[in-house]
């Protein structure tokens, strides 16, 4: 295909370089702002094209050598070629642009970005598995950057938990030697403070030999092994009989006890353990929980925020749509000796204004919604009694939209906001915002 020369004039929200050729936007994988490149069109669309770098004619001062040997092939990371400071600057710009363009708001103060260790941070994820006849072996990894239908041929991962990241190739060898090598589509991993669990999804019953092979692998490498023959509820341990997955959240205050959360391997937990602790400290700083406060925690999950908040306030209620997570949140409260937290099951994307918890006066609210945000919820909450809200977001567009609702409809002020680098080397933007009456 014909190669074209272009100047990269911007970085897109997905981390790709943006050029314009004959007035049409071209998104260029692997290119950075200010670089001159020769590019090769990979896919054409009506309003934009996708391309890759054929030759780098000039280098950005922020370009660095990717640490991972599979960078560019594996789609797990898109920004390893951009230095850490520039990655953060890009994410801050994305958040600022979304506030201005979508929410028509601007924070009174910008919070300093939160960062932590950029490598080996990922404690939760899903590895695809594919038996490839042409290669005569099994591939285990993330999807390819250029074609998500294919599994990237990788042997290690620099961002996955260090107990597992260097052993991706061993997983491929393991599955390749099993009778059910073509019947295992994915392996999910989850790491607690002391245990790394692997969940093998299998489409047909495993032979005794395969079960023995998996057990031996777990024992040799110290992994807890789970099997998943069907849906989420079918997940069960193979070895050990009762694995213990848990992580601790330090209180940061000698007068306040830490919290430990137990979870199951497919439960939602924050991917980055170090950043979760930093995020918790910032959320507490912004929420400013006081002994007499009554707090509502929405989209509470396992109680990641609820239980640390409970150590500091009179009462906290966590609301979550997934019944299993609510059960385990209540179990975690009991395990930590916390009696002033209770949990409710409710679909927060449906109208809940008649629910008992929604009609009560709350001093403070904390929101941690999924990518869709919380606009449906903001049709009836917060009530007039609520003076302070902390909003944790995994999508800057939905945060910006909801910020506009809170400011224009509910009379709040966007007092502060900032990014949190939950996913280093990716274009994912995690952020936190404080709203006050």
Tell the burial category of 208 from Cβ atoms under 10 Å away from its Cβ (0-12, 13-18, 19+). exposed
Percent of the chain with pLDDT over 90: 93
Query: Which residue in 74, 77, 157, 394 is the catalytic one?
Result: 394
Average pLDDT of 367-374?
Answer: 98
The encoded tokens of residue 107 equal 């924070």
What's the pLDDT score for residue 148?
86
On average, the pLDDT of the chain sits at 96
d(C-alpha 207, C-alpha 230), whole Å: 16
Q: Give the distance, in angstroms, between the CA of residue 153 and the centroid of all CA atoms in the same chain.
A: 23
- The predicted-structure confidence for 268-319, as pLDDT tens digits, reads as follows 999 999 999 999 999 999 999 999 999 999 999 999 999 999 999 999 999 9
Region for residue 10 given its phi and psi (left: phi exceeds 0; alpha: psi -120 to 50; beta: otherwise): beta
Q: How confident is the model at residue 1 (pLDDT cuts 50, 70, 90)?
A: low
pTM: 0.95
- The predicted-structure confidence for 73-127, as pLDDT tens digits, reads as follows 999 999 999 999 999 999 999 999 999 999 999 999 999 999 999 999 999 999 9
d(C-alpha 203, C-alpha 185), whole Å: 8
The encoded tokens of residue 170 equal 């061993």
Q: Is 394 a catalytic residue?
A: yes
d(C-alpha 352, C-alpha 428), whole Å: 30
């Amino acid at each position: 295909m014909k190669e074209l020369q272009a100047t990269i004039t911007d970085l897109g929200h997905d981390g790709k370089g943006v050029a314009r050729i004959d007035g049409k936007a071209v998104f260029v994988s692997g290119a950075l702002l200010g670089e001159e490149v020769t590019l090769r069109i990979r896919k054409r669309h009506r309003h934009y094209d996708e391309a890759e770098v054929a030759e780098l004619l000039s280098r950005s001062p922020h370009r660095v050598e990717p640490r991972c040997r599979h960078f560019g092939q594996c789609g797990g990371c898109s920004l390893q070629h951009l230095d850490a400071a520039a990655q953060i600057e890009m994410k801050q710009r994305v958040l600022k642009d979304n506030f201005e363009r979508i929410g028509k708001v601007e924070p009174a103060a910008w919070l300093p970005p939160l960062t932590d260790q950029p490598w080996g941070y990922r404690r939760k994820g899903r590895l695809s598995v594919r038996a490839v006849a042409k290669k005569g072996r099994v591939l285990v990894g993330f999807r390819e950057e250029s074609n998500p239908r294919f599994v990237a041929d990788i042997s290690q991962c620099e961002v996955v938990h260090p107990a597992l990241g260097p052993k991706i190739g061993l997983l491929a060898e393991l599955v390749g030697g099993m009778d059910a090598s073509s019947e295992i589509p994915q392996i999910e991993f989850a790491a607690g403070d002391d245990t790394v669990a692997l969940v093998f999804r299998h489409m047909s019953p495993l032979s005794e030999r395969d079960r023995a092979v998996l057990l031996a692998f777990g024992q040799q490498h110290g992994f807890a092994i789970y099997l998943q023959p069907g849906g989420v509820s079918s997940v069960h341990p193979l070895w050990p009989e009762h694995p213990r997955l848990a992580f601790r959240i330090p209180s940061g205050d000698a007068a306040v006890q830490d919290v430990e959360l137990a979870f199951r391997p497919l439960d939602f937990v924050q991917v980055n353990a170090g950043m979760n602790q930093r995020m918790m400290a910032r959320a507490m700083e912004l929420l400013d929980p006081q002994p007499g406060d009554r707090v509502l925690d929405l989209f509470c999950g396992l109680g990641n925020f609820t239980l640390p908040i409970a150590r500091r306030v009179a009462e906290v209620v966590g609301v979550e749509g997934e019944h299993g997570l609510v059960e385990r949140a209540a179990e975690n409260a009991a395990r930590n000796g916390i009696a002033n937290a209770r949990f409710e099951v409710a679909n927060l994307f449906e109208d809940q204004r008649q629910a008992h918890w929604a009609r009560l006066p709350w001093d403070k609210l904390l929101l941690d919604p999924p990518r869709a945000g919380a606009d449906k919820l903001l049709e009836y909450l917060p009530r007039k009694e609520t003076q302070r809200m902390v909003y944790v977001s995994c999508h800057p567009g939905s945060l910006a939209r909801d910020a506009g609702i809170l400011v224009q409809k509910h009379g709040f002020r966007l007092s502060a906001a900032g990014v949190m680098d939950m996913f280093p080397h990716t274009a994912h933007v995690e952020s936190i915002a404080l709203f006050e009456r």
